[in-house]
Amino acid sequence: MASPGITVRLIGDPSAGPPQAAPHCGQRYQELKRQCLQEQSLFTDPLFDAVPSSLGYWQFGRGSENIQALEWKRPQEICRSPKFVEEEMSRTDVKQGQLGNCWFLAAAASLTLYPRLMQRVVPREQSFAQEDYAGIFHFQFWQYGQWVDVVVDDRLPVKNGELVFVRSCQSNEFWMPLLEKAYAKLNGSYEAMNGGYMNEAFVDFTGGIGESYQLKMPNPELFKVIRVALRKRSLMGAHIKITQKEDMEGVTPEGLVKGHAYSITAAHKLDHRGKKLKLLRLRNPWGMVEWNGRWSDHSSLWAGLDPQLQKSLQVRKEDGEFWMQMDDFLRYFDGLEICSLTPDLLEEEKEVGWNVHSFQGRWSIGYTAGGCRSSGLGDNFWMNPQYHVRLLEADESDLRKQRLDPSCTLLVSLTQKDRRQGRKRGKDFLPIGFEILKRIPNEEEFEQTFLKLAGPDKEIDTAKLQDILNKVTAKLSQLKTDGFGLELCQKIIQHFDTVFIGYDVDLTGTMNIHEMQLALEAAGFHLNHQLREVITSKYRDRYLMINFDSFLSCMVQLEAIFMFSTIIHVLAWCETDHEYDDKLASENRKTELE
């Protein structure tokens, strides 16, 4: 008997090496560079030109005072002897400009602590060496299940001889301004980067899984969580909320910036005057403005430490980096963001046991847009897309400790596509979310029902099935059927078990969309979300329910089509009753079959 479940696409194989990046908008870096070198010309990007629309749409839009006297210049026009990277990339290379993208810069600063990860985002073969320079650079980002390679020219916004946006502490270093430009191109404009959360950039830099913690909710394990995350090379950041727009980036008397994103770069436990203290190291992406409280750069508390320890921890420099005591951190900060890295990013970790799965989905009005429980649409909540996850393997750490009830860690991340690109049209991120619910099995009840109907031999032939179905349905007045003929019963015997009763969990005599999806899985039809939507829409009634006759017709038709035709016939068959745009039809041709 098939158990309910879902078919998923496994992304990334640690043994297969890093996945290849797809060229963004079809622009291939090597081809474009080779062409420019042959023609002895410098690359100009037609898809992200040196025009006001690349800057923004309002604050940096056409006619704005912020772009008056602004010019686009290449690095050799800004300074002498420009370098892509001066020595090594460092978190101190990131100094924020006039853009409110501290979330992105704080994430980039954190990434510099992990050279191998950084090399994926910022390929290191690039330079301004005369024999290799063509005015073109490229960077790679994770976008919705795959890496994309984004090319840019090196014309950068300049005002009064200085870069308008991010810059390095080294005036002749340009990897960070060019990275920022590539990310701006990916999102439609520089201004589209205004405001955000570090986890958005963390995920785009790594393909990892983001999680958030509200720091005003007590969590005695939080420092342990942070230390474990740092040990596992997770990326982390923190921020202070604001209650009104005027407070944005206001500096508190303690030297902290409101509405601002900070990187968390280290954690340390120490003994101080008989007390166990927990310290965190943070960094302001401005490269200046630091915490001035306990354990700040010039705090007198450092004098109470062993000189060697003091030397290894304390840094008296205006570089935006500082230490804080854990309870001060919890007092002043509101949110913590952690991005856990996936196996292909942790290939040196021999015991990592992550499996990574990705789903593409959407909310469709009248079909899968059920709303949240608190919206007053509680009766429609079941309509939302649902995924059944079975956790079969315990965490290795729990197994090593021989715990009686070992756990299996599950991380779930929800992402919206291309929302920043819609900002110039007045659109922005939508308030979305998900809930994780514990599912109570019904397999045992289903099996008992089948055995009772089938008899001691656990088998039924066509005649017995006809007799059983007609007798049972005669007693169940809620089932809408005119009876069963021998031909239909023969098809049922040949192609599938009595799934309907087992997955009509609420015993209404009809199936809702979720029950139908589980029944399809149990019968062996592992379809992607969009295809399930098209198929079930053909057989549902106006109340979004499927009666018994429609269920049987659907199953028989599916079996025949999957046996004798390709999945394209499914689309043609369904589209006679359901109109879909070309894009969705294209997606539906890609079934995910195990």
Per-domain residue ranges for the chain?
A: 22-197, 209-339, 445-588
pLDDT reported for residue 353:
56
The catalytic residue positions are 102, 260, 284
Instruction: Provide the β-strand partners of residue 278.
Output: 269
Which of these CATH numbers, 3.40.50, 1.25.40, 1.10.357, 1.10.238, describes 445-588?
1.10.238
**Structural tokens at position 467:** 């007799």
SS (H, E, C) 214-261: ECCCCCCCHHHHHHHHHHCCCEEEEECCCCCHHHCCCECCCCCECCCE
Nearest-10 Cα torsion for 227, 231, 234, 237: 30
pLDDT reported for residue 480:
60
Q: Which residue from 265, 324, 268 is spatially nearest to 294, judged by alpha carbons?
A: 324
pLDDT reported for residue 333:
95
Q: Is 20 exposed, middle or buried (0-12, 13-18, 19+ CB in 10 A)?
A: exposed
Fold match, 209-339 / 445-588: no
SS (H, E, C) 289-351: CCCCCCCCCCCHHHHHCCHHHHHHHCCCCCCCEEEEEHHHHHHHCCEEEEEECCHHHCCCCCC
CA 400 to chain centre: 31
| Beta carbons within 8 Å of 265's beta carbon, 6+ residues apart | 91, 110, 113, 281, 282, 283, 321
The pTM of this model reads 0.65
- Length in residues, the chain: 594
Over its C-alpha atoms, the chain yields an Rg (Å, rounded) of: 29
**Structural tokens at position 534:** 């098209």
CA distance 485 to 463: 9
**Structural tokens at position 543:** 């109340």
CATH architecture designation of domain 209-339: Alpha-Beta Complex (3.90)
pLDDT reported for residue 341:
79
**Structural tokens at position 245:** 């727009």
For the chain, list residues with pLDDT below 50: 1-17, 348-351, 443, 445-446, 497, 564-594
Q: Which residue from 65, 245, 264, 103 is spatially nearest to 187, judged by alpha carbons?
A: 103
